[in-house]
């Protein structure tokens, strides 16, 4: 849920990343710029063809070959595009397909002696850099929500509430009932607008505070993981060394 809310505020920033820029290209354009893109496309197509052949032949070797191609595709995609949120989203369905293939292989007969055993597929690792980036995103999104909530309350709600009081005062000073009713109707409309903005601004501000708190916690956790302390023992001395990753 947090990720969905965050995407509303950081979508513009993500659209400028290298991965999203590559994703905006057509396959032909991307392959012309980088031969590795063409290799990834070919490897993925071959894997899907292997899966389709298995559906017809029920030859488990087709699934083993498809799994090998997809695992190679995942590794080369990570080398090419890194571990940005956009790249992780692209690789997520491929991880799911590999797990599905492994489940089908486990349910099938054991492989022949010539077929190498399949290794377990590890879930996509969540590195400290990913945690830190997510924390920065939450902080940015929370600050934006807090600013929007404050703008709704202070920039719209409060002025309309003041205008509502002004309309009530004008109704009290009016000599004719028609004028009084007109001022009171205007006061009710302004009160409705002010109360609505107070409610909406309060919800946005509260959500922004929660996102800010979550982002601060995630960044603090990533920073703690970046520092490792190793004891050092030797003849005549004892101490420790600290390693900090940036």
Q: 147-187, pLDDT tens digit by residue?
A: 998 998 998 989 999 999 988 988 888 888 888 888 899 88
Task: Give me the residue spans of the domains in the chain.
Answer: 18-123, 130-226
Residues 23-44: pLDDT tens digits?
444 555 544 557 888 888 898 9
- Residue 7's nearest CA partner among 125, 144, 129 is 144
Mean predicted confidence (pLDDT) in 60-74: 90
pTM exceeds 0.75: no
Region class of 90: left (phi > 0), else alpha (psi between -120 and 50), else beta? alpha
- What percent of the chain has pLDDT above 70? 69
The model's confidence at residue 7, banded by pLDDT at 50, 70 and 90, is very low
Phi (first) and psi of residue 117, to 5 degrees: -65, 150
Return the pLDDT at 74: 92
**In sequence order, which residues have a C-beta less than 8 Å from that of residue 210 and are 6 or more positions away?**
142
């Amino acid at each position: 849920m947090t990720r969905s809310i965050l995407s509303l505020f950081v979508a513009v920033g993500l659209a400028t990343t290298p991965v999203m820029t590559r994703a905006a290209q057509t396959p032909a354009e991307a392959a012309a710029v980088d031969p590795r893109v063409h290799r990834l496309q070919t490897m993925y197509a071959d894997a899907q063809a292997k899966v389709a052949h298995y559906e017809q032949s029920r030859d488990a070797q087709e699934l083993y070959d498809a799994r090998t191609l997809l695992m190679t595709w995942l590794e080369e995609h990570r080398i090419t595009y890194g571990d940005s949120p956009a790249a992780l989203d692209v690789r997520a369905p491929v991880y799911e397909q590999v797990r599905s293939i492994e489940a089908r292989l486990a349910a099938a007969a054991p492989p022949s002696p010539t077929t190498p055993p399949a290794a377990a597929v590890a879930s996509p690792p969540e590195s400290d850099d990913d945690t830190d980036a997510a924390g920065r995103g939450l902080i940015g999104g929370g600050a934006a929500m807090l600013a929007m909530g404050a703008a709704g309350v202070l920039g719209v709600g409060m002025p309309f509430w003041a205008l509502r009081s002004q309309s009530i005062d004008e109704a009290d000073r009016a000599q004719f009932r028609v004028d009084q009713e007109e001022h009171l109707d205007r006061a009710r409309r302004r009160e409705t607008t002010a109360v609505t903005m107070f409610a909406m601004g309060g919800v946005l501000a509260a959500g922004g505070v929660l996102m800010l708190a979550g982002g601060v916690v995630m960044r603090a956790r990533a920073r703690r993981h970046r520092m490792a302390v190793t004891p050092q023992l030797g003849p005549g001395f004892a101490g420790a060394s600290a390693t900090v990753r940036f």
